Amino acid sequence: MAFNRLWHRSFRLSIPPRHLAPPGTRSRALSIQSKAPALERRARRRRIPWRYVAALLSLGTGAAVGTAARLWLTLRTEAPFPGTEEDDVALDALADQIEELHIVKHLRAGEDNSGKGPWVELDIKENMTETATDRDKTIRPFTRRVMGGIQGLGVQRAFWNSETRELFAVVWIGPRLSGWPTVAHGGAIVAMFQDAMSRMIAGPHMPIDNIPTPASLSVTYARPTFTFDLYILRSSFARPDLSKDAPAPEPAPAKSWLPSWKDLTKKPTSTVSEPTMEVNGTLESLDGEIKVRAKGVWPASAVPFQLFDQRRLQIFNIRDQEP
């Protein structure tokens, strides 16, 4: 017992009291404790809040969109007008670029010396053909004047195949035809299809001003069509459906237990469809990627009579109603 008391006493004496602690120990501990909040605040300051990151991203996105819009407006407002010297220089450069395309060289090589080969190039500067009667007649002034120039439809090269009755055209879409920055307007694409399909119906020896507007024109936009680029427009007649299927039997009345004069169920009315001429078209990139699909329908009564030869009535999608 005496030994334990002696040991506890020596142990308590070995621990120096607070007033006997080494100088500076307590002050150093207090200074560390006082500096801890400051260090924590400094660490927080070094971290960039997410709201600042979001603000920087928004600022960068707005600057990029503003720059694109400014360039788009510059191209629309400061572009050379159709018929000016600057526009003619730009059109000449575009024409040289089209002449170097492999597909244009290939189609021109398919012609013979008499111009009666499988593909015949069409002159679409002003008229469908260079004839004495149509030389002074302007064809489609909307597409050739309002939408003309390097900022519009620019230069086109069209080829007609008399055997398959197909139209192949290399078209240019300028930045003035954009509805959204760098994206072509849907109305401009529809005007291009209507112009090409009218040429299909008219053929290579007739002006297209004699062709009326289609009864219906459906367009499917598969992918965005960007402006300031060259595209390929294909157009062909739809093949006729020559199958002679028996008509479907008339459906039984919904309420057979009623007399005929009391059965007010709506019955389908038999309508005789007018003969039509259907033309299909696609707008593709130079790599063959389809951008737009279109289908135009013309009533047979609206098409000039001289277009209805016996061969076209048999091959293409024209249903002749016999009395």
pLDDT in tens, 298-309: 887 766 655 555
The span from the CA of 214 to the CA of 56, in Å, is 52
**SS3 (DSSP) at 55:** helix
Please name every residue paired with 167 in a beta bridge, in sequence order, or none if there are none.
160, 235
Tokens of 145: 């004047």
In angstroms, rounded to a whole number, what is the distance separating the alpha carbons of residues 298 and 292? 20
Residue with tokens 């560390």: 32
* pLDDT at 315 exceeding the cut of 60: no
Domain ranges across the chain: 47-78, 82-239+273-315
On whether the CB atoms of residues 277 and 198 are closer than 8 A, the answer is no
Task: Assign 239 a pLDDT band (cuts: 50, 70, 90).
Answer: low
Give the whole-number percent of the chain exceeding pLDDT 90. Answer: 11
CATH number listed for the domain at residues 82-239+273-315? 3.10.129.10
The residue length of the chain stands at: 323
Tokens linked to 31? 């200074």
